[in-house]
Amino acid sequence: MGDHKEQPLRVGAAVRRRRRTLDLTLAVVAERSGLSVPFLSQIENERARPSRSSLEKVADALRTTAVELLAAADPACSVDVVRAEGPEQGGVPRERSLVRGHHQMHASEFTGDHDAGRELQYRNDQLMYVADGAVEVEAEGRAYRLGRGDTLYLTGGVRHRWRATVADTRVLVVAVAEHIEAVQDRPRQ
């Protein structure tokens, strides 16, 4: 239950991601594949399931294979449980994804410290939540100290870095996935 292997695949998001990566319009893919723009739009929006033959035509138009598109497909489930891993490895920094697959949201749990000197910048907005311990975040030229239960919201495009200031710190980072165009360019204030 909740296991991706039990769910049918949704290939539409994989088709859209590939098309956008190649910077192609639906009209160009339609011309290359011999399929109609409305049908391709329905595939991308999960309102139509392509036959094997149609999927191969789409794949050829996108200069890939049907197998590659299926491998990049999202599981068609609305509920998925990600179980906690085994016992904590005291003091060992680690990151684990809290969401499987290609979805509109990404969430990770960081335990311990990580590369504090590394500057981060994400395309879309994100939220940091300190589940245990404490962190210091540097963003927009200011330092923010966060303790257990505190959150920090960062608008997409903000350069930042953070570090754990207490042993056994756990931080949850939830963000809109990078492949989603959720934030239009905003004027800097």
Q: Which residues contact 169 (CB under 8 A, 6 or more apart)?
A: 110, 111, 112, 113, 130, 132, 133, 134, 135
Q: Which residues pair with 146 in a beta bridge?
A: 135
Task: Determine the pLDDT at residue 153.
Answer: 93
Q: What is the pTM of this model?
A: 0.56
pLDDT confidence of 28, banded at 50, 70, 90? very high
Task: Determine the pLDDT at residue 183.
Answer: 52
pLDDT confidence of 188, banded at 50, 70, 90? very low
Query: Is the per-residue pLDDT at 93 higher than 70?
Result: no
Q: Which residues pair with 185 in a beta bridge?
A: none
Lowest mean pLDDT among 3-17, 42-56, 111-125: 3-17
Task: Determine the pLDDT at residue 101.
Answer: 66
Distance CA 124, CA 177 (A): 7
Q: Within 13 Å and on the Cβ side, how many CA atoms surround 130?
A: 25
Residue 80's nearest CA partner among 11, 175, 8, 4 is 4
pLDDT confidence of 46, banded at 50, 70, 90? confident
Distance CA 63, CA 60 (A): 5
Q: What percent of the chain is modeled with pLDDT above 90?
A: 41
Selected residue with higher pLDDT from 54 and 6: 54
Query: Is the per-residue pLDDT at 38 higher than 60?
Result: yes
Mean pLDDT to the nearest integer, 10-32: 92
**What pLDDT digit, counting tens, does each position of 102-118 carry?**
667 778 888 877 666 78
Q: What tokens does 149 get?
A: 């239960």
Task: Determine the pLDDT at residue 4.
Answer: 42
Q: What percent of the chain is modeled with pLDDT above 70?
A: 76
Q: Write out the DSSP string of 158-189.
A: --EEEEESSTT-EEEEEEE-TTS--S------
Distance CA 19, CA 58 (A): 10
pLDDT confidence of 45, banded at 50, 70, 90? confident
Q: Do residues 172 and 186 touch, judged by C-beta distance below 8 A?
A: no
- The alpha carbon of 143 is separated from its chain's Cα centroid by a whole number of angstroms, namely 27
Distance CA 18, CA 98 (A): 24
Quote the crossing angle between the two packed helices 26-33 and 37-44, to the nearest 10°: 110
